[in-house]
Amino acid sequence: MGAREEIVHQRLGVSSARDERRRFQRIRLQVPIFIRGTVALGDQFLELAKTLDISALGASITCPRSLAVGVVVTLTIPAPSITSSALVPAGMPPIQAKVKRRQEAGDVHLLGVEFLKPIG
């Protein structure tokens, strides 16, 4: 892991895998992800963000937009369109998640989200 990612994990309070006692193991995985939701005034937004780590129950995400704790968002992993075939599985469906924590880190916002339904 690079120095920037280590700083981000420290700011989020993410421990190393050997120090954690979690129900599901976290995987350090950087994946682009779309975050869709509604702000307080009812306006919808769509932002391109990136995961820092992910588990069956949640994820740590860097996002250009600040979101309030408690906001429910929809997460979608962008995927190239592939011709339909019985041999190629369909893309992953959108994931509903609730923002559990947030922190500013320069020009990005660090979010801890909990999936409303475990994935996997």
Element (H, E) at 119: none
Q: pTM for this one?
A: 0.73
**What is residue 13's predicted lDDT score, i.e. its pLDDT?**
55
**What is residue 24's predicted lDDT score, i.e. its pLDDT?**
72
Domains of the chain: residue spans and CATH: 3-115 (2.40.10.220)
The maximal CA–CA distance of the chain, rounded, in angstroms, is 45
| Of residues 117, 8, 119, 14, the one with CA closest to residue 63 | 8
| Of residues 23, 4, 22, 24, the one with CA closest to residue 12 | 4
**What is residue 42's predicted lDDT score, i.e. its pLDDT?**
85
Please give the residue that has the higher pLDDT: either 69 or 82. Answer: 69
**Per-residue pLDDT tens over the stretch 17-71:** 444 555 678 889 999 999 999 987 888 999 999 999 999 999 999 999 999 999 9
